[in-house]
Amino acid sequence: MRVRLLGPVDAVVGGAPVPISGLRRKAVLAVLALHGEGIAGTGRLIEAAWGDKAGRASLNTLQSHVSALRRVLGNRNAIVARPPGYLLDLGPGTTDVTEARRLVERGECDDDPAQSATTLRAALALWRDRSLVDVGGMAWLDEQAAALERLRTRAQLALIRARLALGEHAQLEPDLERLARARPFDEQVHAQLMFALYRTGRQADALSVYRRLRTALADNVGIDPSQRLRDLEIAILRQDPALDQSAHAVRLLAGCAS
């Protein structure tokens, strides 16, 4: 049994997806699942699920939703009443979020780029849509959704690093161009794009990417690129032979903070 949050909120029971009806009920399940093995207090559950209408929600209403969720999950012990609230108790692998975090961390730490890429692809496959896509508009859940989307981006960038280490520079250029447009101040994305362009013989384009980022940072944030990114620009200008050693270069890219 697993609760899924990386997309619409639902549950997988007996290997089959089971939809959850009602916005509030989905929100209650999402809050419980996001607390992992911790207790979600009744105040947090009501505030997160009802938002600015929390004053109209009663403890009885919350209990009604919890009872309905237990029926959906097919196990009255799946949600345990434990002061000051409730605990989701589904055993190992409770949520797709837990599995995604585990896979991302494992993929980032793997020294074998091929295995790292396989692990990170498995992590990214857990996202079926935007995180918590059908419970938007509730402040606390919106914050959690943003954090889960940052985890997704982290996995995407780690996968790109692994693929760069495998020599897939040309294949990655379109994706990196798209990411750079979507994240105009993200140094890591731009460093990866610079590296991919350089490795495909487009030195001038790689340097143009650096200048574009430098201008964007100066005009919008009032800062210069990091020293690590400036070092990458110098290495490209000098055609540093170290850039032809994928492992060394990818370690440099991993250090470029966004």
- Tell me: the pLDDT tens digits for 168-222? 999 999 999 999 999 999 999 999 999 999 999 999 999 999 999 999 999 999 9
Residue 257 has pLDDT above 80, yes or no: no
How far is the C-alpha of 163 from the C-alpha of 159, rounded, in Å?
A: 6
Average pLDDT of the residues of the chain:
91
Summarize pLDDT for 39-50 with one digit per residue, the tens.
Answer: 999 999 999 888
Mean pLDDT of 53-82: 89
In this predicted structure, what is the pLDDT of residue 82?
Answer: 95
Q: Which residue's structure tokens are 């938007």?
A: 136
In this predicted structure, what is the pLDDT of residue 58?
Answer: 81
Residue 60 has pLDDT above 50, yes or no: yes
**CB 79 within 8 Å of CB 87:** yes
Confidence of residue 242 (pLDDT cuts 50, 70, 90): confident
Mean pLDDT of 87-96: 87
Confidence of residue 246 (pLDDT cuts 50, 70, 90): low
Who's near 122: CB < 8 A, 6+ residues apart? 103
Residue 122 has pLDDT above 60, yes or no: yes
Summarize pLDDT for 100-116 with one digit per residue, the tens.
Answer: 999 999 999 998 999 99
Residue 247 has pLDDT above 80, yes or no: no
Show the DSSP H helices in the chain as ranges: 23-34, 42-50, 59-73, 96-109, 113-124, 139-165, 169-182, 187-199, 203-220, 227-237, 246-254
Instruction: Report pTM.
Output: 0.88
Residue 94 has pLDDT above 80, yes or no: yes
Residue 133 has pLDDT above 70, yes or no: yes
How far is the C-alpha of 197 from the C-alpha of 236, rounded, in Å?
A: 10
